[in-house]
Structure 1
Amino acid sequence: MRYKKWSQTKKLLMSFLCDDLRSRVDYQLVNYRKAHDQTGRAYITVDKKEVLNMCSLISMNKEAEEEQRIINERVLIYDLSDTKSILETKELAVTINMNKGIYAQWDFLDIVNMFLHNPIEVSLGSQDLLTNILCLLDRRVGKRTLRRMNESIQDHHELIQYFYQLRCEAEKV
C-alpha cells in the first residue's frame, strides 16, 4: 500500500480528532535509521504520556513467540515446504497479537490509511482494536453514538475502555 508522507498523514489524522482532545492526544511515528531495516515504532500519547506503543521489533518477537505457541499447541511439524500451513500459522499469530493490542509500525500505517479512506460507519463496524480506538477519538462519532456504546464497551479490550472513558470525560457524556 502506498503511503503519503507521515507529516501529511498525521495532519489529516489530527484533523479528525474531536475538538476537546486535540491538545491532549498525539500520534507519533519514529524511524530508527541505524536499525537494520530502518523501521521503528508508532505510538499514541495522551497528555504527553505514551498509551499505545506499536514497535516493529516487539511485534515481530511476539509474533514469533505466538507462532511457536500455535505450533506446539497443534503439535505441528514445521515443514518448510508447506507454505500454506506456514502462512496460516503466521496470519493467526498476527491476528492474535493485534487482538492483544500488539502492533508493528507498518500495521499502524496500514490501519490509519484504511481508516482515513473508509466512511466512519465502516470503521465503527470494525473488529480491529486500533480502528476502534481511532473511531473513539474521531469527531464524526457523536455523543449519541458514544451513549449507545456504553453497555457494550465493557466487553472490549482495556485500551478501548480507556479511550472510551477519555472521550466521554472530554465530551462530558
Structure 2
Amino acid sequence: MRNQQWSKVKKKLDSFICDSLKNRVQFTVTNYRKAHDQLGRAFITVDKKEILNMCTITSDIEMYRKENEIRNAQSIEYDVYNGHQNYQIGIQAHEMIKAEGFFAQYDFFDAVEEYFNLPIEKALKSDDMVIKILSLVDRRVGKRTLEGMKESIQNEKEIIQYFYNLRCEADRIMKLYKKFR
C-alpha cells in the first residue's frame, strides 16, 4: 500500500464510508518534507474535529519511553551489540503503545492495508484499534450487526466506543450511552 498514491488509497477508503457518515468522517495524511524520515502524521476527523492523531514523532517518543520502561522493569541495560534483544524489546514496546492508542503514520498505512484485505466480519473483531474504527464506519456493517455489538462494545476502549456511538447516532439505531470527551 505504501507504493500506492495516497489519493488513490483515500478514494478507496472514502468509498467504504457508510452513507450516513459520508461527509462527516475524513482521513488525512500529512508528510513533513523537512523531517529526517519525511514522515508525518495521519489523522481522522469527524465534523472537521480531529479525533485520532497518528503522529510518527509522538509515537517514536512514546516508543522510546516504553522501551526504557521495559528495560528498567527487567533490569536490562542497553547493549548495542545485542540486536535480537533490542528488536524484541522494540516489538514489545510497539505493541504496548499501540494498545495505549499511540500510532505512527506507518501504523495507519499498515492498518489500512490489512483492513482492505480482511472480510468485514474479521475487521470488526480485529485487535487493531484503527482497523476496528475503519470497520465501524464501513457501509458493509448493517444495523443488525451494530445492534448485536451493543454489549461487547462496552468492553472496548473509549475511542472505539466513540466511533460505535457516532455510527449508531448517524444511523438512528439507539441513543448514546456514553459520551466521548
Give the TM bin, normalised by the shorter chain.
over 0.9
The residue aligned with 1:75 is 75
The residue aligned with 2:105 is 105
Structural mapping, 1:40-51, within 5 Å: 40-51=40-51
Aligned residue identity for 1:52: L
**Deviation of 1:2 (Å):** 4.3
Distance of 2:143 and 2:76 partners within structure 1: 49
Distance of 1:103 and 1:134 partners within structure 2: 14
Structure 1 residues 11-67: Cα deviation after superposition (integer angstroms, max 9, x where no partner): 000000010001100000001112121111000000000000000000000000010
SS at match of 2:52: strand
Structure 1 residues 74-107: Cα deviation after superposition (integer angstroms, max 9, x where no partner): 1112222222211111011110111111100011
Number of residue pairs the alignment of both structures matches: 173
Q: Which has the higher helix share?
A: 1
The residue aligned with 2:53 is 53
Runs of 4+ in 1 over 6 A off after TM superposition: none
Structural mapping, 1:29-48, within 5 Å: 29-48=29-48
TM-score, normalized by length of structure 2?
0.92
Unmatched 5+ stretches in structure 1: none
The residue aligned with 2:179 is none
Q: CA RMSD in A?
A: 1.1
The residue aligned with 2:116 is 116
Distance of 2:63 and 2:172 partners within structure 1: 39
Unmatched 5+ stretches in structure 2: 174-181
Name the stretch that deviates more: 121-130 or 151-160.
121-130
**Deviation of 1:125 (Å):** 2.4
The residue aligned with 1:94 is 94
